[in-house]
């Protein structure tokens, strides 16, 4: 396949070519590996390429009869593990850590026929919004390498945007799919609860705001990935749902006329003018298509919701760090191995009480009910992914290496 054709092909197109016999899974794996090797020196997006999988796509249990039939795929170095493979989570502290088994979603990905050929960069433990620790990686935006890719699904979004692979695994708690997808010109969707399992280590109760997903360049790739990788594991905390029509079917037909709410602010936080202007242009296009578009926001206390969300993240991340410490019989994070912001998070979150978490859940409930009532009158709310333009490499507010406490408030 020519490089021009490779850069334009999405995963569905490659799957169709595999079905026709235009090429083999091994040939695609080799081309993906070569593409990654071409772009990685300037982008620093990949932690490891699995050379054995490049040579033998079936070695780890990929299902060649699955929908994707052997399309190359990369996993974020965080979230569901790959049996026997390194999973270092962007951290010096986790170097040498290997997964003892495939995660539940990993099994779904392999069953769908995706050939996992490597793992991609992330900031330490997925905290903060840019993968920039010079001792591990500085992942750069392929459109302009002076700028950040953002994160935490940094390497995944960069490889997709650069055309090295058509789709990649990602995770999202506070924007880690949506933010890097937006800043790199990709498609990133955080699905609702009850779509992707985070088994076996977490549930929708203990994970609470984090979920799995993918980053792609086409709507049909995202739809196909959701269709073939969704579903719950035995013993889930809540029922997992499935729509009557698959997403791949739904995107083939035009929607009815929709009631679309617009907002360029959440409470006191407003988008930068250039972003508001882009939102207004999108709104005009939707209006021209016949949809009803107007400015509206749910009646919720956004500042209270932000405070609850911050407490949720800090307490959750503190417990993630605490679990890694327990596994090594350590009582506190070694500052030489765990980055400064994560040491601050551990300190701030390790002793958060049940009563504080209960108050947080009360706010979550009020906020959710407010949004639920809002969507009785509106079909969609259209907002910017973030309020700020793409940051440059080295913006200290975004970094896990920062000693500032400001990132705690911006999470």
Residues 288 and 242 in one domain: no
Residues 291 and 376 in one domain: yes
Residues 246 and 260 in one domain: no
Give pLDDT, residue 217.
Answer: 99
* Degrees, nearest 5: CA angle 277-283-286: 150
Domain range for 179: 3-250
Q: Where does the pLDDT of residue 356 fall: very low under 50, low under 70, confident under 90, or very high at 90 and above?
A: very high
Residues 282 and 365 in one domain: yes
Count of structural domains, the chain: 2
Q: Are 188 and 215 in contact (CB under 8 A)?
A: yes
Q: What are phi and psi of 347, to 5 degrees?
A: -65, -40
Q: What are phi and psi of 61, to 5 degrees?
A: 95, 20
Among 250, 282, 306, give the residue marking a domain's end: 250
Residues 296 and 199 in one domain: no
Residues 118 and 264 in one domain: no
Give pLDDT, residue 218.
Answer: 99
Q: Are 304 and 363 in contact (CB under 8 A)?
A: yes
Strand order in the sheet with 167-172: 46-49, 114-120, 71-76, 167-172, 211-216, 187-188
368-397: per-residue pLDDT in tens? 999 999 999 999 999 999 999 999 999 866
Mean pLDDT is lowest, of 194-203, 241-250, 396-405, for: 396-405
Residues 262 and 241 in one domain: no
User: For position 20, which CATH number holds?
Assistant: 3.90.1300.10
Residues 372 and 399 in one domain: yes
The reply to whether the predicted model has a pTM over 0.85 is yes
Q: What are phi and psi of 292, to 5 degrees?
A: -85, 120
93-136: per-residue pLDDT in tens? 999 999 999 999 999 999 999 999 999 999 999 998 899 989 99
Closest to 72 (Cα-Cα) out of 24, 21, 121, 142: 24
Closest to 69 (Cα-Cα) out of 182, 291, 228, 197: 228
Q: Are 332 and 307 in contact (CB under 8 A)?
A: no
Residues 52 and 191 in one domain: yes
Instruction: Calculate what percentage of the chain has a pLDDT beyond 70.
Output: 96
């Amino acid at each position: 396949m020519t490089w021009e054709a490779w850069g334009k092909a999405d995963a569905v197109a490659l799957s169709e070519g595999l079905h026709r016999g235009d090429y083999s899974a091994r040939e695609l794996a080799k081309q993906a590996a070569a593409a990654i090797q071409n772009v990685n020196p300037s982008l620093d997006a990949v932690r490891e390429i699995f050379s054995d999988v490049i040579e033998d796509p079936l070695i780890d249990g990929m299902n060649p009869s699955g929908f994707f039939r052997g399309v190359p795929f990369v996993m974020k170095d965080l979230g569901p593990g790959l049996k026997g493979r390194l999973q270092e989570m962007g951290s010096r502290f986790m170097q040498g850590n290997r997964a003892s088994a495939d995660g539940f979603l990993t099994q779904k990905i392999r069953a769908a026929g995706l050939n996992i050929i490597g793992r991609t960069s992330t900031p330490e433990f997925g905290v903060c919004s840019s993968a920039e620790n010079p001792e591990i990686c500085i992942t750069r935006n392929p459109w302009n390498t002076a700028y950040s890719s953002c994160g935490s699904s940094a390497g995944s979004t960069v490889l997709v945007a650069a055309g090295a692979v058509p789709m990649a695994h990602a995770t999202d708690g506070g924007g880690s799919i949506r933010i890097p997808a937006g800043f790199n010109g990709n498609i990133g969707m955080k699905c609702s609860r009850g779509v992707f399992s985070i088994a076996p280590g977490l549930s929708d109760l203990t994970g609470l705001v984090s979920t799995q997903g993918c980053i792609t360049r086409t709507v049909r790739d995202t739809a196909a990935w959701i269709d073939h990788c969704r579903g719950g594991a035995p013993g889930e905390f809540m029922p997992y749902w499935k729509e009557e029509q698959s997403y791949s079917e739904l995107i083939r037909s035009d929607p009815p006329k929709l009631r679309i709410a617009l907002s360029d602010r959440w409470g006191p936080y407003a988008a930068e003018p250039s972003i508001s202007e882009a939102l207004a242009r999108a709104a005009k296009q939707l209006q021209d298509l016949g949809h009803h578009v107007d400015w509206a926001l749910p009646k919720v206390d956004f500042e209270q919701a932000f405070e609850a969300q911050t407490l949720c993240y800090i307490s959750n991340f503190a417990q993630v760090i605490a679990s890694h410490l327990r596994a090594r019989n350590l009582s506190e994070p070694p500052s030489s191995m765990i980055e400064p912001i994560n040491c601050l998070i551990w300190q701030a979150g390790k002793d958060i009480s049940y009563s504080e978490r209960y108050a947080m859940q009360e706010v979550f409930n009020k906020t959710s009910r407010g949004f639920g009532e809002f969507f009785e009158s509106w079909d969609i709310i259209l907002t910017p992914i973030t309020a700020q333009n793409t940051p440059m490499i080295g913006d200290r507010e975004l970094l896990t290496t920062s000693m500032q406490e400001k990132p705690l408030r911006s999470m």
